[in-house]
Amino acid sequence: MIVPRDHAGNRLDRFLAAQGLTYSRSQIKRCTDEDRIRVNGKPRKAGWKIKVGDEVVFDPPDPEPAGLLPEALPLAVVHEDRDLIVLDKQAGLVVHPSPGHPSGTLVNALLHHCGDLAGVGGVLRPGIVHRLDKDTSGLMVCSKNDQAHRALSQQFKLHTIERAYLAIVRGRPARDQGAFRTLHGRNPKNRFKFTSRVKQGKHAVTRYRVLERFAGPGMALVQAELETGRTHQVRMHFSENNMPILADQLYGRTRAAGLPEPLKAAVEALERQALHAAVLGFEHPATGEPMRFETAPHADMQKVLEILRSGKR
């Protein structure tokens, strides 16, 4: 590929992403780290600035076999038709296979349940158009054909999807409602975390509303609505505003120690962040019909709320 004038000064990974390759920018970066992409015969990194007339050669790795097997795992189906399926994901379920989770994922369960997802949206993540963290429960929509996948993905890209989470936070929100508008990027001190304290990053917006306050233990039930859908966005925003989500081991550093019984026992039983994707709204990818779904927090979160509401000490 020869770099045209309109791409002069662009980053190498952005130039390649604009060429219609079936690789994400993160995959392209991985290829540059493996010296599979050369500019004028020399290996270059993803951020290399290209010039007019540069020759870019991409030596892609051999495709890896999908190796995905259907598994009869339980699924809480909220809605299903020929184009899509809406699920109420349980906490602890990983969405798609990864190096640490080669099986037992939502993708494996979908392959068993739907039976005909091969290649929809990619061989490694068939049907997946968005994700929830492993330990976040709640609503997800998955596509069952390529047309639905493209249409739903476009809605997520344009941020026209309605998404609202319920979270129990530790702290006392200063206002009953507000919004966090920040940058979002990888935390340089911990690759598993994200932060708003970066010089360059993607735009992230979370609007929130306090639904209930629990004065004794200094907690609140909040609703968080996403204008953007960045990784760990809700968890990061509340943590960096002194309202970490209850039992979030990565962002909260909050333990049950010091809490009175029976609240302490209920928090220990959570074993995950108190975060639930409660509302999901979108246009049906085939009919254009508005669709909206709502589910209540799961039993472990409900138990904590029950104790907080009762004022038990």
Q: List the chain domain ranges.
A: 5-58, 77-157, 162-310
> What's the pLDDT at 16?
81
Q: What is the four-CA torsion angle of 37, 39, 41, 45, rounded to 10 degrees?
A: -50
Give the pLDDT mean for 107-114: 93
CA atoms within 13 A on the CB side of 137: 24
| Torsion over CA: 237, 241, 243, 247 (sign) | positive
| Dihedral pair phi/psi, residue 209, rounded to 5° | -145, 130
Q: Does domain 77-157 have CATH number 2.40.30.60?
A: no
231-260 residue pLDDT tens: 999 999 999 999 999 999 899 866 677 788
CA–CA distance, 253 with 312 (Å, rounded to integer): 24
Describe the chain by its helix, strand, coil percentages, rounded to 5: 20, 30, 50
Q: What is the mean pLDDT of the chain?
A: 90
261 C-beta neighbours (distance < 10 Å), count: 11
Element (H, E) at 224: strand 219-226
Element (H, E) at 121: none
Q: How far is CA 69 from CA 82, 103, 118, 177, in A?
A: 22, 8, 11, 45
Same fold, 5-58 and 162-310: no
Catalytic residue at 6? Answer: no
Which of 48-52, 100-104, 200-204 comes out lowest in average pLDDT? 100-104
Q: Confidence band (pLDDT; 50, 70, 90) for 160? A: very high
Asked whether residue 106 carries a pLDDT value surpassing 60, the answer given is yes
245 C-beta neighbours (distance < 10 Å), count: 28
162-310: CATH number: 3.30.2350.10
> What's the pLDDT at 279?
98
User: What is the reported pTM?
Assistant: 0.78
Class of domain 5-58: alpha beta
Enter the DSSP assignment of 300: H
Asked whether residue 148 carries a pLDDT value surpassing 50, the answer given is yes
Asked whether residue 313 carries a pLDDT value surpassing 60, the answer given is no
Tokens at residue 162, please?
A: 């309605």
Buried b vs exposed e over 270-301: b needs ≥16 C-beta within 10 Å? bebbbbbbbbbbbeebeeeeebebebebbebb
Burial class (CB in 10 A: 0-12, 13-18, 19+), 215: exposed
Catalytic pick among 88, 133, 135, 300: 133
258-272 residue pLDDT tens: 788 999 999 999 989
Which of 14-18, 93-97, 119-123 comes out lowest in average pLDDT? 119-123
| Locus of tokens 């809406």 | 86
